[in-house]
Amino acid sequence: MSLFASEPFPAADAPPLVVVAVERAVDRSPDGLTYALPPALAALPEGARVEVPLGRGETKTPGWIVRRIPETEDPGVDRAKVKYILAQDESGAVLPGELVQFARWISAYYACPIGMTLASILPAAVRKSIGRVERTLIDLAEPQPDPSATGAKKLNPRQKQALALLATLPRPIELTEFAHAAGYSSPAPVRALIASGHLVAHRKTAVEAGFIARSGGVAPAPEPTADQRAAFDAICADLGRFSQHLVFGVTGSGKTEVYIRAIEECVRRGKRAILLVPEIALTPQTVGRIAGRLVHAKVAVLHSGLTAAQRNQQWTLLAEGGADVVVGARSAIFAPIPDRSLGLVIVDEEHEPGYKQDSAPRYHGRDAAIRRAQLASCPVVLGSATPSLESWLNATERRLSRLHRLPKRAPGLQVPKVSIVDFAAERRGFRDGRVNLLGPTLREGIATTLDAGGQVLLLLNRRGYANYIGCSDPRCDWTLTCTECDAGMICHVDARGQIRRSFVRCHHCLAEQLLPKTCADCGKPVTVFGLGTQRVEEELSRTYPALVEGQTMLRVDSDTMQTAAHFHDALERFGKGEVRLLMGTQMIAKGLDFPNVRLVGVVSADTALALPDFRASERTFQLVSQVCGRAGRGEKPGRAIIQTFEPDAPAIRLAATGDFETFATRELTDRKEYRLPPYRRLARLVLRHPGETECEKRATDLADALRALAPEPTNPRAGGFSGVVEVRSATPCAVARIAGRYRWQIEVLADSAADLSKLLADARSRGLLRLGEELAVDVDAIAAM
């Protein structure tokens, strides 16, 4: 700027300028756009949600103040042309500064525009002020109006009585409550006393919501084991500075006790803690345990199972600094904890794929937790019996985090006895001509357990009745596929469990139709193959008179558990013992702790092994070990029976013996050899388009454009990178078409997170990544999309 410019310095009354990130899917200027604050809003802080005029049409668009530009700084724009912010958002929500900073990292790392990222952090219930009520509180005016003054109202005896009563009550008191106490039938007489100056009133807003039920009472603290003590001592010693800890504890070893003690110490030091749990339905159980031990701490919960008003209430409570601990699913990592007060972040069952968000911003709750702790300079604790290979590598070879082993189950708990059953061999013994999904070993195990009064958990990772619908003539290769997706349809039986009235559903686009009776090619009858949870349910009711569907036996999968409340209710009935057998998909493998579960059955351990994903072995290992760990958590010993067609698969064999370290070492050797995560960082970009050729062309063009931005393999440092970035050729996705849209993907692999980020940032600044219907970017993708 020239010294002779007409306005070298802002005029004394120049409005303050701010940078606003608008809620749009494209962001060529990563930080945002410059706006001016009108006098009425001059004090708006960073983190406030606002409405701004955007573009030539001045379209009213929501956005966020991400930075106030200091008066001394050259804003880089012509002040005279800067537009004014229109209004503050009605909710009045303001995100703490640390959260805005955190959102910036999420936006940069997961390649999602900052405005969209901030929008996803603020729950809709808060934005819409659901449950917010205004109350009027009243108090006696000091001094009382002089009765001799001209124009002063004379009080009647009833009013004098009411004022005398108020003097004896705890004040300030709510207007309606006082009206009631004083015997008035409406608030009008009280309002008259305000008008006459005898009472003062002020308004207070609060969020009202239904009571959040929490299970469990006050619990005594158990004597910690030496391993538990060593872990929480090390964590507590790090309170006040950033450090990473991995608590690797076998199922039933008491990881929660370590968390509770660390949280206790964090709260004692006046700081706040975030505890993430993988499954919504597990939150009440965890909250109950925490609240039962930390009787003086205020515990908030944040998860999608809350009503909108409850969500707003909990969020507001946190934002006002009214909670010491927040327990919640993935999104609780965005808890609006006031600046400089976060003291500890814990991620339980850190290996769970459910921590990855499957819409933009596609963040990983665990990795985000590490970053949030780093920004707050506090320790982060990851816990698992089957750590992700990412976390294991960080704790061992890379020495980025401290490893705490809890190798033994808590005193009194025995390790369950695990048997692997070769299902192919068992099936040869069947003589009844039926399709049997439970072999003799598992059948016998269920019968013995039920007879002895125990409970059973049964895992099958596949919904529906049968997953393959085809022609009964072996010479014909017709199978029923979805017309809109490149995928087979899944057979489901109707609510009455009748196969005659079966329907088929596509698990990708959810299209449904009746089960056809005949083959579309040759007209012969249709037959269904394969397994699903419904079919197992049918076999169980046929085999065991004690198991009645919906009463003593419950099926838990996303078909039956449409809300978190359904799942919570199912778990409660199982906990009370009225349900004898709980069967379902991986939903039941996570963290359940029921002392009377004496048998865990895995109907088919192979369903996860068959996934077209380099993590298939890791997933299988985790699933089998986790579900086996649900057995024998009480006084009676437990056992687990695993049916498989691949009894020698290392993932299954090592899970059965509980040998995580051998599994991890083998698997990491393979990953290193093929240069797969966690040795490299992977981003997956998926393009979707209704036209097959167009989809392929766009994917190929984008891959070429990305490759042009990537560093030269021979001299990566020339472009500001530190290593090699490999942009693979575009290929069709595993499911090549969903809901009528073709899908192509590009995989980008980089030696470091920084290089991957740099490439994606370069692509964003060139406008190559416009997220939405046609493009998804998944950084650190953990599953095929």
Q: Quick one: 302 or 519, whose CB is closer to Zn ion?
A: 519
Residue nearer to Zn ion on the CB measure, 439 or 532: 532
What are the C-alpha distances in Å from 228 to residues 233, 256, 292, 415?
8, 10, 19, 18
Task: Tell me which DSSP letter residue 246 carries.
Answer: E
Cβ of residue 686: shortest distance to Zn ion, in angstroms? Answer: 17
Span from 154-162, 194-202, 505-513, 533-541 in contact with Zn ion (CB under 5 A): 505-513
Instruction: Give, as one character, the DSSP assignment of residue 524.
Output: P
For residues 68 and 524, which CB has a smaller minimum distance to Zn ion in the complex?
Answer: 524
Phi, psi of 608 (to 5 degrees): -80, -30
Contacts of 399 (CB under 8 A, 6+ apart): none
Tell me how far, at minimum, the Cβ of 522 lies from Zn ion, in Å.
4
With CB under 5 A as the contact rule, the residue among 318, 506, 597, 600 that binds Zn ion is: 506
Cβ 516 to Zn ion, closest distance in Å? 11
Least Cα distance to 6 among 69, 78, 87 occurs for: 78
* Cα(776)–Cα(688) distance, integer angstroms: 9
Interacting positions 740-759 with Zn ion (CB under 5 A): none
Nearer to Zn ion, 299 or 506 (CB): 506
Residues 607-636 interacting with Zn ion (rule: CB under 5 A):
none
Q: Which amino acid is located at 317 in the chain?
A: L
- Provide, rounded to whole angstroms, the least separation between the CB of residue 471 and Zn ion: 3
Q: Binding residues for Zn ion, how many (CB under 5 A)?
A: 14
Taking the least distance from each CB to Zn ion, the nearer of 124 and 510 is 510
Cβ distance 608 to 651 under 8 Å? no
**Among 396, 399, 378, CA closest to 387:** 396
CB of 659 to Zn ion, least distance (A): 40
Task: Tell me whether residue 476 or residue 676 sits nearer to Zn ion (CB atom).
Answer: 476
Q: Give least dist CB 227 to Zn ion, A.
A: 49
| Binding test (CB under 5 A) with Zn ion, winner from 84, 242, 468, 478 | 478
Closest separation in Å from C-beta 172 to Zn ion = 60
Q: Is 485 a residue that touches Zn ion (CB under 5 A)?
A: yes
Of 308-316, 342-350, 366-374, 507-515, which segment contacts Zn ion by CB under 5 A? Answer: 507-515
Handedness of CA 337, 343, 349, 355 (dihedral sign): positive
Shortest distance, CB of residue 505 to Zn ion, whole angstroms? 9
Structure tokens at 537: 């349910």
Which region, judged by CB under 5 A, interacts with Zn ion, from 311-319, 463-471, 574-582, 663-671?
463-471
Read off the DSSP letter of residue 258. H
Toward Zn ion, which CB reaches closer, 239 or 509? 509
| Beta carbon nearer to Zn ion, 370 or 490 | 490
Residues ≥6 apart with Cβ < 8 Å to 440: 426, 429
Determine which residue in the list 86, 181, 400, 476 makes contact with Zn ion, applying CB under 5 A.
Answer: 476
Place of tokens 């559903």: 505
* Shortest Cβ 521–Zn ion spacing (Å): 5
Site for Zn ion contains 121 (CB under 5 A): no
The residue type at 32: G
- Give the per-residue contact string, 508-537, with Zn ion (x = CB under 5 A; - = no): xx-x-------x-xx-x-------------
In 3D, which of 338, 611, 594 has the Cα closest to residue 462? 611
Residues linked to residue 407 through DSSP beta bridges, in sequence order:
none
Which residues are CB-contacts of 732 (< 8 A; sequence separation ≥ 6)?
696, 742, 743, 744, 745
As measured in angstroms, the least distance from the Cβ of 636 to Zn ion is: 46
CA distances for 65 relative to 14, 118, 200, 298, 581, angstroms = 18, 10, 36, 31, 53
- Binding residue for Zn ion, selected from 23, 484, 606, 659, defined by CB under 5 A: 484
Structure tokens at 392: 């294991």
Q: Which is nearer to Zn ion, 317 or 485 (CB)?
A: 485
Three-state secondary-structure class, residue 766? coil
Residue 258, Cβ density class (10 Å: 0-12 exposed, 13-18 middle, ≥19 buried): buried
Q: How far is Cα 601 from Cα 631, in angstroms, rounded to an integer?
A: 10
The residue (of 170 and 474) whose beta carbon lies closer to Zn ion is 474
Note whether 482 binds Zn ion by CB under 5 A. Answer: yes
By beta-carbon proximity to Zn ion, the closer residue of 81 and 475 is 475
Residues that bind Zn ion (CB under 5 A): 471, 476, 478, 482, 484-485, 506, 508-509, 511, 519, 521-522, 524
